[in-house]
Amino acid sequence: MDALAREHMDREWTPNALVNVVPLSKKYTFDLACKLFLDVVDVEDIKRLSDPFSLATQGMLGVPINLPGMAYNRAIRGGKMIRKELIRIINERRKKLLEKKETRHQDLLSKMLLVTDENGQFYSEMEISNNIVGFLVASFDATSSAVSSVINYLAHLPHIYEQVLKEQMEIAKSKGPDELLTWEDIQKMKYSWNVARESLRLGPSSQGGFRETTTEFTYAGFTIPKGWKTHWTVHSSHRNPEYFPEPEKFDPSRFDGSGPPPYTFVPFGGGPRMCPGREYAKLEILVFMHNVVRRFKLEKAIPNEPVDGLAVRLQPHEN
């Protein structure tokens, strides 16, 4: 992750005085996912996946009307293109593994091709592609949204940025110029992770989720029958003043010690259905923060406006 983040900074950030964070964070997270999940690094190969993914994710929550010109129709076409490209990659990798021409891959795809189900059968191309699509969707949208939210607050709040910079530079100074981050370095990023969590509290990647009630219950004077669909919102949970005093204030110290009570801070959900990519997202966010702040001072080009691509001015640190 650190090596790819450095390459991304050199290519997409360093040559520019002004960047739009949202599209660049999507590019970073998707490129990283292609490398870690599929060992795909060629620009054109990634583009054959990223372009249709843009179509698919834009229409995932659109009105489900399958007519030309509708976002839902474009999402279906994008999904077919994604499936076709993934099946091609899977078949090519399977052939190499069977012929023992490919031994260096340690990515998710190779692992999935080599494991069997409870009946001793290898998973089909469609089963593997379904799983890969799930991972890529999360990487393309949710994680990039989290990264953008963190950068938004770092650019908006100089006093928070300075504390993150201090922590990250202490880590950087303990290493050689070309030495990559280690797991031990990540464990030292306590304040940075508090900042990331507070960013996710105020700007969660997911807005909530649906569940079906398994038994009738009463809440706040309302009776919810068994079998009804309920929608829980992350936004209202994260701004509950009972658990987050002055809920609109950006305050990373909320997460000092044991942090807020269980099921009050839920950007990754909670309980047995908590997002399985939580630790992956944490690692990705912290590595990105490290590489941004140790290179640049950040300033929002449009104050109080994070929507239009999140334009940020970059001022390189003096060596």
**Which domains does the chain carry?**
2-21+147-316 (1.10.630.10)
Q: For residue 305, give the nearest of 45, 20, 91 by alpha carbon.
A: 20
Q: How confident is the model at residue 72 (pLDDT cuts 50, 70, 90)?
A: very high
* pLDDT mean over 63-71: 90
241-255 burial code (b ≥16 CB/10 A, e <16) = eeebeebeebbbebb
Token pair of 6, please?
A: 């450095």
Q: Measured on CA atoms in the order 83, 88, 92, 98, is the torsion positive or negative?
A: positive
- SS3 call for 303: coil
Measure CA 110 to chain center.
22
* pLDDT mean over 292-310: 86
Asked if residue 34 belongs to a known ligand binding site, the reply is no
Token pair of 232, please?
A: 């829980």
Q: Over the stretch 216-246, which tens digit does the pLDDT of each residue have?
A: 999 889 999 999 998 888 989 999 999 999 9
Alpha-carbon span 283 to 29, nearest angstrom: 12
Q: For residue 188, give the nearest of 173, 168, 204 by alpha carbon.
A: 168
* pLDDT mean over 5-16: 95
DSSP sequence for 88-116: HHHHHHHHHHHTT------SHHHHHHH-B
Residue 103 has pLDDT above 80, yes or no: no
Alpha-carbon span 64 to 301, nearest angstrom: 37
Which is higher by pLDDT, 93 or 160? 160
User: Which region among 54-63, 126-135, 194-203, 280-289 has the lowest average model confidence (pLDDT)?
Assistant: 54-63
